[in-house]
């Protein structure tokens, strides 16, 4: 009887499905085991052979654990929301719901063919309301929670409100900063809007502002990888950064716990390192540097006294050289100090008292305004008595003009006005704010939440940097600020303005990715200087894209002798380098050492760098110019997308305040839309659905309640799906506590490293959050993580030259001539084109009498991808190639080698466009699922990336056939169908020999340990070895084959199930309820040491480390005995050549080495 895998696999897949053999119960006396594959996105391209790699590994493991007596949860489902479906809809007019459903259907049918043991009754789909209701529900919990820094966990926001009502938000130590801190009384006086804004600063899901890649031409926001060289991938339109209101998850609050949690999980060190780096915790200090105008003092015009305050000095110097009166202005200010009037006004304006945030003494384009409401562009000036002075008037007018040019409204009061008629002044300011607000249609929320790296409520002109190396403070030779830094505009001098503007424009056109990937050093000098607070040294301030706005303060101090990037920067721009680390710095390369003894470093001279760090930080804190600071590279996770195909937010807006919907209003279903074009003002498509957006006001006031139109990102649904599998149909909860407690953590999670920092961190955070709320009992979702390698494509290339020729009786023609690889290599190396040209003439000449042939000399053969499915190894199926691509190459000519066309080979990413994808369906059809599964495993270690080559699959298929022949004699003559086993069945009930038992038990040990440690490739090879050995021994004994079959069942379930049934003398599947007859419920064979014990060992005998001989010795020989035996060995004697060995090394059970 032959191994008819098609019938066998079909039969058993059907039987498994009909009998629901993979259905898993949440209630079992067996120990539980949760094996999970990373959530697949059902892409339109379907599965290629790379995808199932991890699924097969986890399937083998699941089946293995089941045989070992575990209740195994092994589910599968779909991360069905996502950008590709939306993009497909825009391009092809197919609704995402439709294409996604079709993709899922295809996906499922592909999976089914491979014979996985998923419990399909637990399938989940993130785009179904029954699922995303709970995604929205969890979002609401995040929205309604804050992170308590004392308890280091999430708590309900109601607790925070209570705290504010009772105690306000006052600092335990340090100064009370208006705008940041407030008293309980102030809290109570806040408007609803103000309260909402304050709370928004703490919610775990919050609204803020963020930059996106905006493409005006496409009217849409683009993903980073949709932007190439500053233009959109589709269409090549320009892309710029645009600031939009966005939702965020405050994952940064969990940074420390995400780091600590890594100690509790079994992830690879590489994975832990990647997450650690991503979180990027660093300890350092923030240090303020005062701004300074320039290196050499300008001659003092008119004998005016020059300010001693470098801050103000700076603005004098950066002004137009003709503006000598500005000096006067700052001279005046310098004398003035905060006036009584200013103080009065400040007390009335600060802290949002007029519904807008105010800054005092804030620098704008080289001017320092007394008060500025940035959000409404309103400037308040309080003047002394000297505004009648002629020149001051000129200046004031010029200034007003200037401010107007920048769209700033200026309001001017005298000191007396403010002091004597404060209310009037306040009212005037109030109405101006209103006017301005109308004018700009901005909201209070805009200004409130815009980042303010300068510190709240204080407009002093200083540059705050973050550094992890405060010890290098005296090695600072320049400052670098991010191009987006708030100070850029303010500090840039007129001379440098053009250069800076050009540079900013250049940076704006680049993606963050490109900025970080850029090798070339770029930057521009602002013209401004900062002062080193310790020695007063002037430090030039530069702008460069290698400093990112989002990290630290968006400004760094450049220490070229100690930092590689700073060093390159200094070299490139010829900035002199200060050496503070003596001979540690060679002048060639930076040395980031911590061990050097500091030089040129004032009060820390002679100190070791690592010791100096603390000294400097303390000094900085003492001086009040900065503080110790822990920083994280990780940023809060952007949680909204300007897209259609995602979860709608359960949020409505009223008067610019976000209100959560109640649980009873969930799910907020995604409304149907036919046209998915973007909404106005960079909003997502949902913004076009007026009737959906606008809701009647709950209090009956009519209009004004609008739905949130953003949708959630792809990782929303996938951040908690592992919990839904535990209780997929629960309509009352996202997952019952009972189910969550029963299944607990995922015991084994398999997926690619591409999720290392995205999905894995988010889902870990959500788990911690749900844990904080007391909804689940684990705060780490995945106990053990295995990363599968990527299967790359092995592309095949054909090479052609375009040849022009003419025959004697017709006009000239042009044709493509494909050259086999050999000729291509010859052309590339020897340049023997004449030879090739003759070949071409020869080929063409067979058909027509040639008159003239013209090969474009100097042109190399052009490689073109060939579909790997029409190439056998490297040999091209020319006939198939001619039919390929609707006959594009039907008329091409071929120059062969040995009658074959040999293709070139290159390893690339597997993708349709490279014609190197291999569909598992085809392989399953040709060789069967069992062969396919085992071959995928046989390719190499699961964790390793490797190129796919279908060639080797034959070997695995041969193995299964050989294995089959241990049970059945394959007859050459076809036997009548349905006859079942007859005399062809070879299995006997004879007692096995010691040798046979040794083979079996060696295999049990090997397979068990290999499966346990995911070494499936060596596992497959162990099956091959066992089968080869048993074939040699002509072993057909039940007592050997049945345990072997159980070992094989996780790897090749179909053939095992069939042979198991045959062994049980039941040629057809057991009937209903006959589950115990299935191999799935067999018990795993137990390894017994006694069958594999050895008494002797063939030792390699090495002379000076080189193996020269072999001696078989008993395992219990002593060193003396070994020396004696070894010295008598003729080969050893030959190598000794009469000499006495210096030493004989004998390692029991390993080797013997004779040292001469």
Report how far residue 48's alpha carbon sits from residue 975's, in angstroms, rounded to the nearest whole number: 36
Scanning residues 258 to 287, which ones bind RNA (CB under 7 A)?
Answer: 269-270, 273-274, 277-278, 280
**Quick one: angle between helices 929-938 and 1053-1063, nearest 10?**
120
For the bound state, the minimum distance from the C-beta of residue 286 to RNA, rounded and expressed in Å, comes to 19
Q: Which residues pair with 1109 in a beta bridge?
A: 1101
Residue 934 neighbours by CB distance under 10 Å: 30
Q: Where are the alpha helices (DSSP H) in 411-563?
A: 415-420, 422-440, 444-449, 487-491, 494-508, 512-517
By C-beta, is 433 or 939 nearer to RNA? 939
Structure tokens at 662: 């109640």
For the bound state, the minimum distance from the C-beta of residue 843 to RNA, rounded and expressed in Å, comes to 25
> Which strand (E) or helix (H) includes residue 386?
none
788 binds RNA (CB under 7 A): no
1107 binds RNA (CB under 7 A): yes
Strands 651-654 and 657-660: antiparallel
Which residue from 154, 714, 660, 656 is spatially nearest to 444, judged by alpha carbons? Answer: 656
Scanning residues 456 to 475, which ones bind RNA (CB under 7 A)?
Answer: none
Strands 478-481 and 462-467: unpaired
Sorted by sequence, the CB contacts under 8 Å of residue 850 that are 6+ apart come out as 805, 806, 807, 808, 841, 844
By C-beta, is 375 or 1008 nearer to RNA? 1008
For the bound state, the minimum distance from the C-beta of residue 791 to RNA, rounded and expressed in Å, comes to 10
Stretch that binds RNA, among 15-23, 113-121, 480-488, 512-520 (CB under 7 A): 512-520
Stretch that binds RNA, among 189-197, 772-780, 947-955, 1039-1047 (CB under 7 A): 947-955
Q: 3-class DSSP state for residue 895?
A: strand
226 binds RNA (CB under 7 A): yes
For the bound state, the minimum distance from the C-beta of residue 716 to RNA, rounded and expressed in Å, comes to 10
> Which strand (E) or helix (H) includes residue 850?
strand 850-855
By C-beta, is 83 or 666 nearer to RNA? 83
**Which one of residues 67, 83, 651, 1007 is an interface residue with RNA (CB under 7 A)?**
83
For the bound state, the minimum distance from the C-beta of residue 321 to RNA, rounded and expressed in Å, comes to 39
Stretch that binds RNA, among 150-158, 301-309, 580-588, 1148-1156 (CB under 7 A): 1148-1156
**Which one of residues 244, 298, 344, 607 is an interface residue with RNA (CB under 7 A)?**
244
Scanning residues 519 to 578, which ones bind RNA (CB under 7 A)?
Answer: 519, 546, 550, 564-565
By C-beta, is 1107 or 1119 nearer to RNA? 1107
**Which one of residues 352, 642, 745, 833 is an interface residue with RNA (CB under 7 A)?**
642
How many residues at the interface with RNA, by CB under 7 A?
Answer: 106
**Which one of residues 643, 764, 768, 1036 is an interface residue with RNA (CB under 7 A)?**
643
Report how far residue 1095's alpha carbon sits from residue 1121's, in angstroms, rounded to the nearest whole number: 16
Q: Which residues pair with 479 in a beta bridge?
A: 541, 557
For the bound state, the minimum distance from the C-beta of residue 760 to RNA, rounded and expressed in Å, comes to 11
821 binds RNA (CB under 7 A): no
82 binds RNA (CB under 7 A): yes
Scanning residues 193 to 212, which ones bind RNA (CB under 7 A)?
Answer: 210, 212
Structure tokens at 200: 């928004």
589 binds RNA (CB under 7 A): no
998 binds RNA (CB under 7 A): no
By C-beta, is 604 or 1101 nearer to RNA? 1101
> Which strand (E) or helix (H) includes residue 70?
none
246 binds RNA (CB under 7 A): yes
Report how far residue 311's alpha carbon sits from residue 460's, in angstroms, rounded to the nearest whole number: 8
1086 binds RNA (CB under 7 A): no
Which residue from 721, 747, 745, 752 is spatially nearest to 54, judged by alpha carbons? Answer: 752
**Which one of residues 784, 900, 962, 998 is an interface residue with RNA (CB under 7 A)?**
962
By C-beta, is 470 or 789 nearer to RNA? 789
Stretch that binds RNA, among 186-194, 302-310, 554-562, 950-958 (CB under 7 A): 950-958
1115 binds RNA (CB under 7 A): no
Residue 640 neighbours by CB distance under 10 Å: 24
> Which strand (E) or helix (H) includes residue 687?
none
Give the largest Cα separation in the chain, rounded.
122
**Which one of residues 311, 617, 634, 658 is an interface residue with RNA (CB under 7 A)?**
634
669 binds RNA (CB under 7 A): no
**Following DSSP, what letter does each residue of 225-263 receive, concatenated?**
GGEETTEETTTT-B-EEEEEEEEEE-GGGGHHHHHHHGG
Q: E strands of 100-226, at which residues? A: 145-148, 153-156, 205-215, 220-222
Report how far residue 681's alpha carbon sits from residue 688's, in angstroms, rounded to the nearest whole number: 11
By C-beta, is 273 or 305 nearer to RNA? 273
* Contact (CB, 8 A) for 340 and 561: no
By C-beta, is 269 or 1137 nearer to RNA? 269
Stretch that binds RNA, among 76-84, 163-171, 254-262, 465-473 (CB under 7 A): 76-84
Which residue from 1048, 728, 719, 103 is spatially nearest to 111, judged by alpha carbons? Answer: 103
By C-beta, is 58 or 1017 nearer to RNA? 1017
Report how far residue 748's alpha carbon sits from residue 33's, in angstroms, rounded to the nearest whole number: 8
For the bound state, the minimum distance from the C-beta of residue 516 to RNA, rounded and expressed in Å, comes to 4
* Contact (CB, 8 A) for 469 and 613: yes
By C-beta, is 278 or 324 nearer to RNA? 278
Which residue from 1037, 913, 1021 is spatially nearest to 966, judged by alpha carbons? Answer: 1037
**Which one of residues 30, 152, 387, 513 is an interface residue with RNA (CB under 7 A)?**
513
Sorted by sequence, the CB contacts under 8 Å of residue 480 that are 6+ apart come out as 523, 541, 542, 543, 544, 546, 547, 555, 556, 558, 566, 569
Calculate the alpha carbon distances from 1075 to 31, 500, 694, 1055, 1080 in Å.
20, 76, 57, 17, 8
By C-beta, is 66 or 764 nearer to RNA? 764
Scanning residues 166 to 185, which ones bind RNA (CB under 7 A)?
Answer: none
Scanning residues 907 to 936, which ones bind RNA (CB under 7 A)?
Answer: 907, 909
Scanning residues 1003 to 1062, which ones bind RNA (CB under 7 A)?
Answer: 1006, 1009-1010, 1013, 1015, 1017-1018, 1020-1021, 1024-1025, 1028, 1032
627 binds RNA (CB under 7 A): no
Strands 240-249 and 32-37: unpaired
**Which one of residues 401, 610, 958, 1034 is an interface residue with RNA (CB under 7 A)?**
958
638 binds RNA (CB under 7 A): yes
Binding mask 670-699 for RNA (x = CB under 7 A): ------------------------------
> Which strand (E) or helix (H) includes residue 827?
helix 821-830
Could you give the count of Cα atoms lying within 13 Å of 502 in the half-sphere of its Cβ? 9
Stretch that binds RNA, among 49-57, 155-163, 515-523, 851-859 (CB under 7 A): 515-523
993 binds RNA (CB under 7 A): no
Nearest-5° angle of CA 1042, CA 1045, CA 1049? 145
Stretch that binds RNA, among 163-171, 799-807, 948-956, 1054-1062 (CB under 7 A): 948-956
**Which one of residues 611, 954, 979, 1120 is an interface residue with RNA (CB under 7 A)?**
954
Stretch that binds RNA, among 218-226, 318-326, 526-534, 981-989 (CB under 7 A): 218-226
Stretch that binds RNA, among 398-406, 665-673, 777-785, 952-960 (CB under 7 A): 952-960
Backbone angles phi, psi at 175, to 5 degrees: -85, 155
Binding mask 705-724 for RNA (x = CB under 7 A): --------xxx--x------
């Amino acid at each position: 009887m032959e191994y008819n895998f098609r019938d066998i696999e079909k039969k058993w897949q059907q039987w498994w499905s009909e009998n629901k053999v993979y259905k898993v119960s949440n209630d079992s006396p067996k120990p539980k085991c949760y094996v999970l594959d990373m959530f697949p996105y059902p892409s339109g391209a379907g599965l290629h052979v790379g995808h199932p790699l991890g699924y097969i590994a986890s399937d083998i493991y699941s089946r293995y654990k089941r045989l070992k007596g575990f209740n195994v949860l092994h589910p599968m489902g779909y991360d069905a929301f996502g950008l590709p479906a939306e993009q497909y809809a825009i391009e092809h007019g197919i609704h995402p719901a439709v294409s996604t459903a079709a993709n899922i259907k295809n996906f499922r049918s592909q999976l089914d063919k491979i014979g996985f043991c998923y419990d399909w009754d637990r399938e989940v789909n993130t785009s179904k309301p029954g699922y995303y209701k709970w995604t929205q529900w969890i979002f609401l919990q995040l929205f309604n929670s804050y992170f308590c820094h004392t308890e280091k966990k999430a708590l309900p926001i109601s607790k925070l409100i209570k705290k504010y009502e009772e105690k306000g938000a006052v600092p335990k130590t340090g100064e009370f900063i208006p705008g940041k801190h407030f008293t309980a009384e102030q809290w109570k006086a806040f408007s609803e809007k103000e309260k909402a804004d304050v709370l928004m600063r703490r919610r775990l899901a919050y609204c803020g502002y963020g930059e996106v890649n905006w493409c005006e031409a496409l009217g849409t926001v683009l993903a980073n990888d949709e932007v190439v060289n500053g233009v959109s991938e589709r269409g090549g339109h320009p892309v710029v950064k645009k600031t939009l209101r966005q939702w965020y998850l405050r994952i940064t609050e969990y940074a420390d716990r995400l780091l600590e949690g890594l100690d509790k999980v079994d992830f690879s060190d590489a994975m832990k390192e990647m997450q650690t780096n991503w979180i990027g915790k660093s300890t350092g200090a923030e240090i303020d540097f005062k701004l300074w105008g320039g290196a050499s003092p300008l001659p003092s015009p008119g004998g005016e006294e020059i300010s001693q305050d470098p801050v103000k000095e700076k603005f004098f110097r950066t002004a137009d050289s003709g503006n000598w009166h500005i000096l006067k202005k700052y001279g005046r200010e310098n004398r003035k100090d905060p006036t009584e009037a200013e103080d009065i006004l400040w007390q009335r304006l600060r802290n949002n008292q007029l519904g807008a945030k105010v800054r005092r003494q804030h620098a704008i384009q080289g001017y320092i305004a007394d008060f500025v409401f940035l959000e409404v562009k309103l400037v308040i000036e309080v003047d002394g008595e000297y505004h009648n002075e002629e020149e001051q008037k000129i200046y004031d007018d010029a200034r007003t003009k200037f401010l107007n040019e920048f769209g700033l409204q200026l309001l001017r009061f005298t000191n007396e006005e403010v002091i004597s008629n404060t209310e009037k002044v306040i009212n005037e300011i109030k109405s101006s704010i209103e006017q301005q607000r109308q004018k700009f249609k901005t909201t209070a929320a805009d200004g409130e939440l815009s980042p303010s790296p300068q510190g709240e409520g204080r407009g002093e002109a200083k540059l705050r940097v973050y550094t992890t190396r405060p010890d290098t403070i005296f090695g600072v030779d320049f400052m670098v600020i991010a191009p987006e830094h708030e100070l850029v505009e303010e500090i840039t001098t007129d001379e440098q303005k053009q250069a800076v503007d050009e540079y900013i424009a250049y940076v704006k056109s680049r993606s963050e990715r490109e900025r970080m990937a850029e090798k070339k050093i770029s930057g521009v000098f602002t013209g401004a200087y900062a002062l080193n607070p310790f020695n007063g040294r002037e430090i030039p301030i530069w702008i460069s894209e290698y400093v990112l706005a989002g990290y630290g303060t968006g400004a760094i101090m450049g220490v070229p002798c100690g930092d590689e990037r700073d060093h390159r920067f200094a070299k490139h721009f010829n900035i002199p380098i200060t050496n503070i680390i003596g001979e540690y710095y060679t002048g060639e390369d930076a040395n980031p050492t911590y061990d050097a003894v500091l030089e040129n470093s004032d009060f820390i001279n002679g100190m070791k760098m690592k010791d100096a760090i603390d000294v400097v930080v303390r000094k900085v804190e003492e001086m009040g110019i900065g503080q110790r600071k822990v920083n994280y590279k990780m940023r809060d996770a952007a949680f909204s997308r300007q897209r259609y195909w995602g979860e709608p937010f359960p949020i409505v807006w009223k008067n610019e305040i976000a209100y959560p919907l109640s649980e009873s209003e969930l799910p907020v279903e995604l409304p149907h839309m036919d046209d998915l074009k973007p909404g106005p003002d960079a909003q997502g498509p949902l913004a076009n659905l007026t009737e959906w957006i606008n809701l009647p006001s709950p209090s009956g006031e009519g209009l004004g309640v609008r739905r949130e139109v953003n949708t959630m990102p792809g990782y929303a649904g996938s951040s908690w799906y592992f919990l839904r599998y535990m209780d997929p149909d629960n309509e009352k909860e996202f997952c019952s506590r009972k189910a969550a407690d029963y299944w607990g953590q995922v015991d084994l999670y398999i997926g690619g490293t591409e999720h290392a920092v995205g999905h894995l961190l988010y889902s870990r955070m959500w788990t911690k959050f749900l844990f904080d709320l007391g909804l689940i009992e684990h705060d780490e979702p995945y106990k053990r993580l295995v990363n599968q390698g990527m299967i790359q494509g092995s592309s095949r290339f054909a090479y052609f030259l375009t040849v022009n020729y003419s025959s004697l009786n017709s006009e000239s023609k042009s044709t493509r001539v494909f050259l086999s690889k050999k000729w291509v290599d010859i052309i590339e190396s020897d340049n023997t084109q004449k030879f090739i040209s003759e070949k071409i003439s020869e080929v063409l000449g067979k058909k027509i009498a040639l008159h003239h042939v013209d090969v474009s000399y100097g042109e190399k053969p052009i490689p073109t991808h060939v579909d790997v499915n029409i190439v056998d190894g490297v040999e091209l199926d020319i006939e198939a190639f001619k039919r390929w691509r609707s006959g594009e190459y039907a008329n091409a000519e071929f120059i062969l080698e040995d009658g074959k066309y040999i293709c070139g080979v290159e390893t690339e990413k597997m993708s349709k466009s490279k014609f190197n994808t291999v569909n598992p369906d085809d392989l399953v059809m040709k060789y069967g699922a069992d062969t396919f599964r085992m071959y995928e495993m046989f390719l190499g270690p699961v964790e390793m990336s490797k190129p796919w080559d279908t060639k080797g699959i034959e070997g695995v298929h041969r193995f299964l056939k050989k294995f089959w022949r241990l049970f059945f004699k394959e007859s050459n003559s076809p036997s009548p169908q349905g006859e079942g086993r007859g005399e062809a069945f070879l299995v006997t009930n004879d007692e096995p020999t010691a040798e046979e038992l040794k083979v079996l038990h060696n295999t049990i040990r090997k397979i068990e340990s290999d499966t346990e440690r995911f070494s499936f490739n060596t596992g497959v090879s162990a099956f091959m070895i066992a089968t080869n050995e048993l074939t040699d021994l002509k072993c057909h004994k039940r007592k050997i084959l049945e345990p072997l079959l159980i070992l094989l069942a996780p790897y090749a379930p179909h053939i095992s199930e069939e042979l198991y049934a045959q062994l049980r003398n039941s040629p057809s599947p057991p009937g209903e309820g006959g589950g115990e007859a299935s191999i799935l419920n067999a018990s795993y064979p137990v390894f017994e040491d006694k069958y594999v014990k050895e008494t002797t060992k063939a030792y390699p005998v090495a002379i000076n480390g080189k193996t020269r001989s072999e001696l078989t010795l008993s395992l219990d020989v002593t060193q003396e005995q070994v020396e004696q035996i070894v010295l008598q060995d003729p080969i050893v004697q030959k190598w000794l050549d009469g000499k006495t060995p210096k030493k004989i090394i004998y390692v029991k059970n390993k080797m013997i080495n004779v040292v001469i």
